[in-house]
Chains A and B, each alone.
Chain A
Amino acid sequence: MDIDTQWQALGTGEDETRTITKIAIFAVGGQGGGVLTDWIVNLAEANGYKAQSTSVAGVAQRTGATIYYVEMAPDTGKAPVFSLSPAQGDVDIVICAELMEAGRAVIRGFVTADKTTLIASSHRILAVSEKIVPGKGEQDSDVVLSRLGNASQKLVAFNMEEVAADNGSVISSSLFGALAGSGALPFLKSTYEDTIRKGGKGVKASLASFNASFEHAQSSAAAGSAGTKRPEQLKPEKALTVRGPEKKRAAWQLLLSRIEALPKQAHEMALAGLRKAVEFQDLEYGEEYLNHLEIVLASDTENGNWEFTRVAAKYIANAMCYDDTIRVADIKTQKTRLQRVEREIGLGAENQLELTEYLHPRMEEICGTLPVRLGKWIEARPKVFSWLDRRVNKGRRIRTHSVRGFLSLWLISSLKPWRRSFLRHEIETEHLQNWRDLAIKTVHSDYDLAVEILTCRRLIKGYSDTHKRGHSKFDRVLSSLTLLKDRKDAADWLRRLREAALLDEKGEALEGALKTIQTL
Chain B
Amino acid sequence: MAERSFVKEVEKLRAGEGEVFRGEGILAITKALLENGVGYVGGYQGSPISHLMDVLADAQDILGELGVHFEASASEAAAAAMLAASVHYPIRGAVTFKSTVGTNVASDALANLSSGGVTGGSLVIVGEDYGEGSSIMQERSHAFAMKSQIWLLDPRPNLPSIVKAVGDGFELSEASNTPVMLQVRIRSCHVHGEFTTKDNQRPSMSVADALENPKRDLNRIVLPPASFLHEQEKVTKRLPAALDYIQTHKLNELFGPQGSNVGIILQGGMYNGVIRALQRLGLADINGETQIPLYVMNVTYPLVPAEITEFCRTKEAVLVVEEGYPDYLEQAVGAMLQKEGLTTKLEGKGPFPEAGEYTGQVMLDSIQTFLATHCDALPGKGRAPNTPGALPDIKELQEVVPMRPPGFCVGCPERPIFAATKLVEDELGPHHIASDIGCHLFSIMPPFGIGSTTMGYGLGPASASAFNTTKTDRRSISFMGDGGFWHNGLTTSIGNAVFNQNDGVIVIVDNYYSAATGGQDILSSRANNKSKSTKHPITEAVKGVGVKWVRQLDRTYDVTQMQSILKEALTTDVKGPKVIIASSECMLNKQRREKPIINQAVKEQKRVVKTRFGVDEDVCTGDHACMRLSGCPSLTVKDLDDPLRDDPVAHIDQNCVGCGNCGEVADAAILCPSFYQADTIHNPSKTERFFSKIRGRIISALQNWRERRSLIIEEA
| Partner pick for A356 among B363, B635, B679, CB 8 A cutoff | B679
Residue A188, interface by CB 8 Å: no
Residue B218, interface by CB 8 Å: no
| Partner pick for B190 among A57, A79, A107, A362, CB 8 A cutoff | A57
B401 pairs with A283, CB closer than 8 A: no
Mark interface residues in A248-292 (1 if CB within 8 Å of B CB, else 0). Answer: 110110000000000000001100110110110001000000000
Mark interface residues in B536-558 (1 if CB within 8 Å of A CB, else 0). Answer: 00000000000000000000000
Mark interface residues in A482-512 (1 if CB within 8 Å of B CB, else 0). Answer: 0000000000000000000010010000000
Question: How far is it, in angstroms, between the C-alpha of A78 and the C-alpha of B633 when the chains are bound?
Answer: 45
Could you jot down 11 A-B contacts, CB within 8 Å?
A: A8-B384, A12-B379, A13-B381, A52-B193, A58-B48, A83-B360, A100-B404, A278-B711, A346-B654, A352-B680, A470-B623
- From residue A368, how far is it (CB to closest CB) to chain B in Å? 14
Residue A306, interface by CB 8 Å: no
- From residue B590, how far is it (CB to closest CB) to chain A in Å? 15
Residue B712, interface by CB 8 Å: yes
- From residue A306, how far is it (CB to closest CB) to chain B in Å? 15
Stretch at the interface among A85-93, A207-215, A373-381: A85-93
A395 pairs with B644, CB closer than 8 A: no
- From residue A124, how far is it (CB to closest CB) to chain B in Å? 9
Query: Which residues of B lie under 8 Å from residue A505 when comparing CB positions?
Result: 625, 628
Residue A204, interface by CB 8 Å: no
Residue of B nearest to A457 (CB): B646
A59-B406, A345-B678, A462-B621 known; A273 vs B644 contact (CB < 8 Å): yes
B644 pairs with A317, CB closer than 8 A: yes
Interface residues of B in 39-84 (CB under 8 A from A): 47-48, 50-51
Question: How far is it, in angstroms, between the C-alpha of A115 and the C-alpha of B280 when the chains are bound?
Answer: 14
Residue of B nearest to A20 (CB): B286
Mark interface residues in A138-168 (1 if CB within 8 Å of B CB, else 0). Answer: 1110011001001100000000000000000
Stretch at the interface among B174-182, B439-447, B487-495: B439-447
| Partner pick for B406 among A16, A60, A268, A272, CB 8 A cutoff | A60
Residue A337, interface by CB 8 Å: yes
A65-B404, A80-B286 known; A335 vs B187 contact (CB < 8 Å): no
Question: How far is it, in angstroms, between the C-alpha of A465 and the C-alpha of B402 when the chains are bound?
Answer: 29
A56-B133, A147-B392, A341-B678 known; A127 vs B384 contact (CB < 8 Å): no
B286 pairs with A462, CB closer than 8 A: no
Residue of A nearest to B160 (CB): A79
Residue A194, interface by CB 8 Å: no
B703 pairs with A243, CB closer than 8 A: no
Question: How far is it, in angstroms, between the C-alpha of A358 and the C-alpha of B708 when the chains are bound?
Answer: 29
Query: Which residues of A lie under 8 Å from residue B272 when comparing CB positions?
Result: 81-84
B360 pairs with A88, CB closer than 8 A: yes
B648 pairs with A13, CB closer than 8 A: no
Mark interface residues in B672-716 (1 if CB within 8 Å of A CB, else 0). Answer: 110111111111100011001001001110110001111111111
A147-B393, A331-B616, A351-B684 given; 15 more Cβ-contact pairs under 8 Å? A4-B387, A10-B281, A11-B380, A13-B282, A83-B276, A113-B389, A144-B400, A242-B712, A276-B644, A337-B616, A347-B680, A354-B678, A401-B692, A407-B702, A461-B621
Stretch at the interface among B100-108, B573-581, B660-668: B660-668
Closest 6 CB pairs between A and B?
A87-B360, A58-B47, A13-B282, A13-B381, A56-B133, A64-B406
Residue A385, interface by CB 8 Å: no
Question: How far is it, in angstroms, between the C-alpha of A318 and the C-alpha of B410 when the chains are bound?
Answer: 34
A83 pairs with B682, CB closer than 8 A: no
Question: How far is it, in angstroms, between the C-alpha of A299 and the C-alpha of B610 when the chains are bound?
Answer: 56
A345-B614, A347-B680 known; A85 vs B715 contact (CB < 8 Å): no
Question: How far is it, in angstroms, between the C-alpha of A402 and the C-alpha of B695 when the chains are bound?
Answer: 6
- From residue B700, how far is it (CB to closest CB) to chain A in Å? 7
Residue B198, interface by CB 8 Å: no
B712 pairs with A60, CB closer than 8 A: no
- From residue B234, how far is it (CB to closest CB) to chain A in Å? 34
Stretch at the interface among B29-37, B368-376, B451-459, B524-532: B368-376
Residue A353, interface by CB 8 Å: yes
Residue B132, interface by CB 8 Å: yes
A138 pairs with B517, CB closer than 8 A: no
| Partner pick for B644 among A29, A90, A269, CB 8 A cutoff | A269
Residue B671, interface by CB 8 Å: yes
Residue B397, interface by CB 8 Å: yes
A395 pairs with B406, CB closer than 8 A: no
A58-B50, A147-B396, A360-B667 known; A16 vs B622 contact (CB < 8 Å): no
Residue B283, interface by CB 8 Å: yes
Query: Which residues of B lie under 8 Å from residue A268 when comparing CB positions?
Result: 643
- From residue A229, how far is it (CB to closest CB) to chain B in Å? 15
Interface residue total, chain A, C-beta cutoff 8 A? 153
Residue of A nearest to B135 (CB): A60
Residue B256, interface by CB 8 Å: no
Question: How far is it, in angstroms, between the C-alpha of A87 and the C-alpha of B675 when the chains are bound?
Answer: 46
Residue B597, interface by CB 8 Å: no
- From residue A494, how far is it (CB to closest CB) to chain B in Å? 16
Question: How far is it, in angstroms, between the C-alpha of A13 and the C-alpha of B371 when the chains are bound?
Answer: 14
Query: Which residues of B lie under 8 Å from residue A132 when comparing CB positions?
Result: 446-447, 624, 627-628, 631
Residue A454, interface by CB 8 Å: no
Question: How far is it, in angstroms, between the C-alpha of A151 and the C-alpha of B363 when the chains are bound?
Answer: 24
- From residue B622, how far is it (CB to closest CB) to chain A in Å? 6
Question: How far is it, in angstroms, between the C-alpha of A67 and the C-alpha of B131 when the chains are bound?
Answer: 13
A12 pairs with B380, CB closer than 8 A: yes
A83 pairs with B273, CB closer than 8 A: yes
B280 pairs with A16, CB closer than 8 A: yes
Query: Which residues of B lie under 8 Å from residue A354 when comparing CB positions?
Result: 678-681
Question: How far is it, in angstroms, between the C-alpha of A470 and the C-alpha of B647 when the chains are bound?
Answer: 14
Query: Which residues of A lie under 8 Å from residue B170 when comparing CB positions?
Result: none
Query: Which residues of A lie under 8 Å from residue B698 when comparing CB positions?
Result: 403
A136 pairs with B679, CB closer than 8 A: no
Query: Which residues of B lie under 8 Å from residue A127 when comparing CB positions?
Result: 402-404
Stretch at the interface among A233-241, A427-435, A439-447: A233-241
A56 pairs with B676, CB closer than 8 A: no
- From residue A502, how far is it (CB to closest CB) to chain B in Å? 8
A84-B188, A113-B389 known; A245 vs B644 contact (CB < 8 Å): no
Query: Which residues of B lie under 8 Å from residue A82 when comparing CB positions?
Result: 272
Residue of A nearest to B609 (CB): A354
Residue of A nearest to B652 (CB): A344
A109 pairs with B361, CB closer than 8 A: yes
Residue B284, interface by CB 8 Å: yes
Query: Which residues of A lie under 8 Å from residue B241 when comparing CB positions?
Result: none
Residue A388, interface by CB 8 Å: no
| Partner pick for A41 among B192, B360, B671, B709, CB 8 A cutoff | B192
Question: How far is it, in angstroms, between the C-alpha of A402 and the C-alpha of B692 when the chains are bound?
Answer: 8
Query: Which residues of B lie under 8 Å from residue A346 when comparing CB positions?
Result: 654
| Partner pick for A29 among B371, B406, B612, CB 8 A cutoff | B406
A358 pairs with B675, CB closer than 8 A: yes
Residue B354, interface by CB 8 Å: no
Residue B279, interface by CB 8 Å: yes
| Partner pick for A63 among B364, B633, B663, B666, CB 8 A cutoff | B633
Residue A54, interface by CB 8 Å: yes
Query: Which residues of B lie under 8 Å from residue A518 when comparing CB positions?
Result: none
B670 pairs with A239, CB closer than 8 A: no
Residue A197, interface by CB 8 Å: no
B673 pairs with A62, CB closer than 8 A: no
Question: How far is it, in angstroms, between the C-alpha of A242 and the C-alpha of B715 when the chains are bound?
Answer: 9
B279 pairs with A56, CB closer than 8 A: no
Query: Which residues of B lie under 8 Å from residue A276 when comparing CB positions?
Result: 644
Residue of A nearest to B680 (CB): A351
Residue B365, interface by CB 8 Å: yes
A410 pairs with B402, CB closer than 8 A: no
Query: Which residues of A lie under 8 Å from residue B379 when comparing CB positions?
Result: 12
B361 pairs with A100, CB closer than 8 A: no
A15-B386, A461-B623 known; A359 vs B679 contact (CB < 8 Å): no
Query: Which residues of B lie under 8 Å from residue A273 when comparing CB positions?
Result: 644
A352-B680, A354-B679 known; A1 vs B369 contact (CB < 8 Å): yes
Residue B388, interface by CB 8 Å: yes
Residue A106, interface by CB 8 Å: yes
